[in-house]
Amino acid sequence: MIYTLTLFLLCLEQITFGQIGFKNPVIRGFNPDPSICRVNEDFYLVTSSFEYFPGLPIYHSKDLVNWEQIGHCLTRDSQLQLHNAPASGGLFAPSIRYHDGLFYVICTNVSDKGNFYCTAKNPAGPWSDPIWVDIKSIDPDIFWDEDGKSYFVTQGDEGIRVTEIDTKTGALRSDEKLVWAGTGGRFPEAPHLYKKDGYYYLLLGEGGTEYAHSASIGRSRSIWGPYESCPLNPILSHSNRIGQGNEIQGVGHADLIQAADGSWWTVFLGFRVTQRYSYFHVLGRETFMAPVSWPTNGWPQINGNGTIQVAMDVTTLPRYPFPKPMVRDDFAGEKLGLQWQYLRNPDSSKYSLSFRKGALCMYTSPTTLDQTQPLSFIGRRQTEHNFQAGTSLELSADTDTEEAGISLLQTNSHHYDFFLRRKGKAYVLQLRAAVGSLKYIVAEKDISTNKIALSVKGTALSYEFGFVNPKSGRYEVMGNLDTRYLSTEVAGGFTGVMIGLYSSSNGHETKAKVFYDWFDYQVST
């Protein structure tokens, strides 16, 4: 009874009062270009997903600290075509907005017809098919003005452009106008427009999405400009002395939001370098959060001086935590969990959760991890440097060309693969590194059976690949590989490391399949 009462009071305190301190990033692992909207006490957020399917994860929160994925915006082939999307092609920086009872996600598919938006009554879906907008630039947003007019806001090479648009049809109602080139930093991008106290505020990213990234803001009495630059610009950046040595780098590409209690906040991207001063990162660009104040002259300040930390010492909204995800996915459901992503549009005939109950059955695809075409693969984000992942698989092979296992995949040219392959009447376990044009088998071991349990342990600097020896039942290390060669600095691109389960028949059309019994993913922060 006393225990129940204490628990009740603790929950009440969490829900009723703001709490001091939270940890950044608030959405961990590859989740860049966040955009946010609010309906009453609920916040919704969307991030970029590039060549992965389904596209554009949608998250929900009540406190801006705890986030739970509730769906994806683009779940159908009629909404999303990624067949020819190269690594980091596909879906770039989206925006999410709520207007007149409808949610809008506005985005660009750089591998298809460009700019579009979708609408939904429920942000968890279903979302409409895309309404395409005939404007050739990226990072779109829609802004609704008080007079009922609406505007498409995008990034062109030379700066931010505004176009009046009919949001019922996607038809343009004016020519595009370049309204602001930013403060002079390179790549003025990621525009978001807000109206406050009679001013149009135009927030943008500058400096490129690497270490010189930042956010700047300008304002004007007219939506068409001219925009006056905030004297504090950049209002968010770690490419300065205060940001030097911060384990979070590349902060920028922000969106602003006002909570129901009147407080202001921002979400934005940044990346965690593997170690202070190490200058490489593997987790991709992630979603961060910070408080915003409007102290004097109507200009916003982010967390005081425009820098942030992992441990944020600020009072937040009252907390609404969500249950922690389960370590084990035993593939017992009818559908894959929201954490799983395919590479490009999946061929649904290649996957089955019902063929053998409690296992994911995956048919091999002739395509390989090196190609930029759909292949038999599901992956989830690596969300922490320190993690342990594992699976138990059974390969039902027809020929020696088929392989199945775990891949740590940054791009099609940068991945580490740990897999079982048939070799005559027995099998061989191989660890392969693909780092650009350097590709080799790091280690191999003959195995007598087609069933094996594989694991990967990650730290900031190294991945350890191990397996349970079917003969002895003991764990053995197969090899260690540097995280560095899967980093964005080495591989390039806009994504982060995905931990994948895959099966390939290396160019041959075969009927082989693999059963994955379970997949474990556990982190320590």
The binding site for ligand 6LW (CB under 6 A) comprises 32-33, 48, 92-93, 138-139, 189-190, 205, 209, 252-253, 269, 494
CA distance 46 to 287: 10
CA distance from start to end of the chain: 34
Cis peptide before 323 (omega within 30 of 0): no
Check: CB of residue 497 under 8 Å from CB of residue 476.
Answer: no
Measured from the CB atom, is 153 or 359 closer to ligand 6LW? 153
Q: How far is the CB of 90 from ligand 6LW (least distance, A)?
A: 10
CA distance 389 to 432: 17
Catalytic residue among 33, 51, 329, 394: 33
Q: How far is the CB of 93 from ligand 6LW (least distance, A)?
A: 4
Measured from the CB atom, is 93 or 257 closer to ligand 6LW? 93
Q: How far is the CB of 131 from ligand 6LW (least distance, A)?
A: 20
Q: How far is the CB of 191 from ligand 6LW (least distance, A)?
A: 9
Q: How far is the CB of 1 from ligand 6LW (least distance, A)?
A: 53
Catalytic residue among 164, 189, 329, 394: 189
Measured from the CB atom, is 209 or 301 closer to ligand 6LW? 209
Residue 477's SS3 state is strand
CA distance 469 to 455: 12
Helix (H) or strand (E) holding 438: strand 438-447
Check: CB of residue 224 under 8 Å from CB of residue 238.
Answer: no
Q: How far is the CB of 259 from ligand 6LW (least distance, A)?
A: 25
Helix (H) or strand (E) holding 5: helix 2-16
Measured from the CB atom, is 271 or 521 closer to ligand 6LW? 271
Q: How far is the CB of 10 from ligand 6LW (least distance, A)?
A: 39
Residue 392's SS3 state is strand
Chain residue at closest Cβ approach to ligand 6LW: 209
Number of neighbouring beta carbons within 10 Å of residue 187: 18
Q: Which amino acid, 231?
A: P
189 is a catalytic site residue: yes
Cis peptide before 86 (omega within 30 of 0): no
Angle at 40 between CA 37 and CA 46, to 5 degrees: 20
Closest C-alpha to 29, from 464, 462, 463, 386 = 386
- The 10 Å CB-count burial string (b at 16+, else e) for 33-61 is bbbbbbeeeebbbbbbbbbbbbbbbbbbb
Measured from the CB atom, is 33 or 63 closer to ligand 6LW? 33
Measured from the CB atom, is 190 or 273 closer to ligand 6LW? 190
CA distance 443 to 131: 50
Measured from the CB atom, is 201 or 515 closer to ligand 6LW? 201
Measured from the CB atom, is 56 or 93 closer to ligand 6LW? 93
176 is a catalytic site residue: no
CA distance 265 to 259: 8
CA distance 341 to 359: 17
CA distance 41 to 278: 40
For tokens 């061989």, the residue is: 428
Q: How far is the CB of 6 from ligand 6LW (least distance, A)?
A: 45
Active site residues: 33, 189
